[in-house]
Amino acid sequence: MLDLAATKRKRCFDAHIYVHTWLFRFVNNYSAYLPMDSKHTAEMHKHLEKQSEVLMEAYRSMSHELHKLQVEEEMLMRKFYEVMTAQGLTKKNPKSVQKRT
């Protein structure tokens, strides 16, 4: 159970790093497509600031949704374990209990 949750968190973190890396490369290469005129600098800065705000809001929203899903997953797994234990379908392994604490 813990391995699955850790794997999901790692995938989310990897995707987050990928997006940030892509954005960094995009911003660094963006200047190659615009003339190096000072009148475009302010426009580009304003555009990038606005895009940064939008991306940060999307990141916050996605992080919040991910957290809600992780809490829901943990709750469902606990309920599933309770049902399995009540039906006698799980064997309590003392070694696994010791590892968790």
Residue with tokens 């064997």: 91
CA–CA gap between residue 52 and residue 56 (Å, rounded): 6
54 exposure class (CB count in 10 Å sphere: 0-12, 13-18, 19+): exposed
Residue type, 96: S
What value, to the nearest 5°, has the Cα angle with vertex 60 and ends 59 and 61? 90
pLDDT, tens digit, for every residue of 8-67?
666 766 766 666 676 667 766 665 555 556 777 888 888 889 999 999 999 999 999 999
| Residue 46: per-residue pLDDT | 87
pLDDT, tens digit, for every residue of 66-94?
999 999 999 999 999 999 999 988 776 65
Domain range summary for the chain, segments of one domain joined by +: 37-90
